[in-house]
Amino acid sequence: MTGYQQQPHSQQYVGGSQVQLTAGLRQFMAGVYAWMAAGIGLTAAVAVAGSQSDAVLGMMYGPSRMGLTMPGYVIVFAPLIVVMFLRSRMERMSGGGAVATFMGFAALLGLSFSAIPLIYQTASLAKIFLSTVGMFGAMAVLGFVTKKDLTGMGQFLTMALFGAIIASVVNGFFVGSFGMDTVISAVIAIVAAGLTAYHTQSIKQVYLVNGGRGNLAIIGALQLYVDFINLFLSLLRLFGNRN
């Protein structure tokens, strides 16, 4: 994130005011996780509603439900393109604009997930979701409390994630290997777990430098939201029970 203040936010607190800094950090992180949870909830709601709508399913998969239509491809791949440009642009948006953009992205992603409730058993979806919450929570705590700088690991994992996504697209359209799909899903799960720790530490450091100004909470929520979604989808592909 850009625009750091010359004097770190943490240096404004000395002596007994360290308690205020700790309380402020906790409040900021709680806000980040609250926005992230709101985005996940909206994505889930839109996905469930879309799975029960013949109009949505027909638009995405056609009458035969045998493959994506052209609008379906746009809906599925648009979030990948949008998320690449969101972070830098959200820094310059108004607070309301940043929230609306994040929620619009979450809803669009939910629309692209409309087939998931039809493909996987409800009990399996619930089990994988709870497993994702547990893994995500553990890695977030690790990233928050660790004293080790995770910057180098985060940069490596980010490149690995882009590589895995490209490999997944190539496999889906040209190779069609179940074994390769399993390996890619495992890699993305590991990468998403690691990025959860890295992004949590990064968000914490951003607050210590900048405080909670501007749209930093929404930008942090977007980062963790993407990590959660990637982790959930990977675990679902690895362990989910299909209908």
Percent of the chain with pLDDT over 90: 60
Rounded Cα distance between 162 and 168, Å, is 10
Q: Are 238 and 189 in contact (CB under 8 A)?
A: yes
Q: Which range marks the domain in which residue 199 is found? A: 14-239
Give me the number of domains the chain comprises.
Answer: 1
Is residue 9 assigned to a domain?
no
* 5 within domain boundaries: no
Mean pLDDT of 72-98: 78
218 in a domain, yes or no? Answer: yes
What pLDDT is attached to residue 16? 45
How many other C-beta atoms are found inside a 10 Å radius of the C-beta of residue 237? 18
In a domain? residue 71: yes
Is residue 2 in a domain?
no
Say if 116 falls within a structural domain. Answer: yes
pLDDT 10s digits, 30-83? 999 999 999 999 999 999 999 999 888 888 887 766 677 777 777 777 777 777
Q: What angle, 0 to 180 degrees and rounded to 10, lies between the N-to-C axes of helices 70-90 and 216-239?
A: 140
In a domain, 140, yes or no: yes
| Structure token digits, residue 1 | 């994130």
Note the pLDDT of residue 205: 94
- 3 located within any domain: no
* 73: Cα within 13 Å, side-chain hemisphere: 7
Average pLDDT, the chain: 87
pTM (2 d.p.): 0.88
Q: What are phi and psi of 91, to 5 degrees?
A: -65, -30
- Model confidence at 7, pLDDT cuts 50, 70, 90, reads very low
Question: What are the tens digits of pLDDT across the range 154-205?
Answer: 999 999 998 998 898 888 878 888 889 999 999 999 999 999 999 999 999 9
